[in-house]
Amino acid sequence: MLDRINQLRDRLSPAEMAVADWLLAHPDRLGDLRLATLAENAGVSEPTVVRFCRSVGATGFRDMRLRLAGYLATRGEVLHAEVAAEDATTTVADKVIGASIRELRRVQQAVDGDRLDQAADALAQASRIAFVGVGASASVALDAQNKFFRLGLACAAFCDEPSIRQAAAVSAADTAFVAISKTGESSAVVSAVGDAVRAGAATIALTSPGSRLAQAAQTPLLIDVDEDTALYTPMSSRLAQLAMLDVLQICTAIRAGSAALDYLDASKAALTRAKG
């Protein structure tokens, strides 16, 4: 949560920025923080603090305080489990896999069933699906294409800025436009989602709460993973994205009915014949 506040700081109003600066400077005082105390310390009004909470993706002050407490608890656990050069191979495996399991559990607990329903309905009804992602999310978009085409759905992955912008430009009311981004701050992806919305497409995003992409898409599926991708290649966030797409594929197959299952069986049979 503190990482997100730091990331969004420059997009806040001057008064909200004062709240962000105080929180970032006093992480040790978050446990028993009260709304009035935070407003006084930051030199702003209580309504400003509430607006700040919503600007960074929380529903209100209580939600932000709980998420900050959870973030700090997880952060301490991750730092404690940080891989050291002298660690044995099995220890490295325990730490890396354990961190991913913890983050997947966090994502599982935060699943929004209504938004999943909306996304699966849009995918099942679409005549064509565009999966878009850049950088580390590009491989996730390609995996999504591989998952969904086996249901007999017309879909493609677009993984560079020119292709993503063109995919948005040719979207229509029968298109489902699925944007994947850990940070949700890629200007190309956010802009493309806006173009797809204006073209009448159903837009879905797998991204971080409070991000520009989450605000731009009609159905944001929020994946809140504590991972510093500025230093490390995304691991837990990529696994969370892949897991969410697995859920979406199954939900979409259920809605598409027996035809989707027939396509899935046919694709598996084709692989079996190829091996034989």
Note whether 206 and 75 are same-domain residues: no
Q: Is residue 267 part of a domain?
A: yes
Query: 148, 142, 131: which is closest to 256 by C-alpha?
Result: 148
Q: Give the pLDDT confidence score for residue 107 in this predicted structure.
A: 84
18 with 74, same domain: the answer is: yes
- Is residue 87 domain-resident? no
Q: Looking at the structure, do residues 26 and 135 belong to the same domain, yes or no? A: no
Looking at the structure, tell me whether residues 151 and 60 fall in a common domain.
Answer: no
Do 60 and 157 have their domain in common?
no
Indicate the DSSP class of residue 219: E
* 131/256 same-domain check: yes
Last residue of a domain, one of 64, 82, 100: 82
Task: For residues 5-12, give the mean pLDDT.
Answer: 81
Q: Are residues 78 and 137 in the same domain?
A: no
Residue with tokens 């099995």: 90
For the ranges 3-12, 34-43, 201-210, the lowest mean pLDDT is seen at: 3-12
CA-to-CA distance for 69 and 220, rounded, in angstroms?
24
Whether 51 has a pLDDT exceeding 90, the answer reads yes
Residue 181 domain-assigned (yes or no): yes
Q: Are residues 154 and 240 in the same domain?
A: yes
Count CA atoms closer than 13 A to 170's CA, side-chain side.
Answer: 10
Alpha-carbon dihedral sign for residues 196, 202, 207, 211: positive
Residues 162, 65 within the same domain: no
Q: Clarify whether residues 121 and 239 are in a common domain.
A: yes
For residue 206, the domain's CATH number is 3.40.50.10490
- The pLDDT value recorded for residue 81 is 47
- The answer to whether the beta carbons of residues 183 and 11 sit under 8 Å apart is no
127-165 pLDDT, tens digit each: 999 999 998 899 999 999 999 999 999 999 999 999 999
Q: Which of 38, 62, 82 is the last residue of a domain?
A: 82
Q: How far apart are CA 97 and CA 239, in angstroms?
A: 11
Q: What is the CATH number of the domain that holds 40?
A: 1.10.10.10
Residue 143 sits in the same domain as residue 45:
no
Residue 4 has pLDDT above 80, yes or no: no
Residue 98 is assigned to a structural domain of this protein: no
Rounded CA separation 106/206 (Å): 15
User: How confident is the model over 159-185, as pLDDT tens digits?
Assistant: 999 999 999 999 999 999 999 998 898
Highest mean pLDDT among 58-62, 81-85, 209-213, 240-244: 240-244
Shared domain check, 9 and 135: no
Does residue 74 carry a pLDDT above 60?
A: no
- Residue 90 within a domain: no
Question: Is residue 246 included in any domain, yes or no?
Answer: yes
CB atoms near residue 11 (< 10 Å): 13
Question: Is the predicted pLDDT of residue 80 greater than 50, yes or no?
Answer: no
Q: What is the pLDDT of residue 92?
A: 83
The range of the structural domain enclosing residue 258 comes to 113-271
Round the average pLDDT of the chain to a whole number and report it.
86
Query: Percentage of residues in the chain with pLDDT exceeding 70?
Result: 89
Percent of the chain with pLDDT over 90: 49
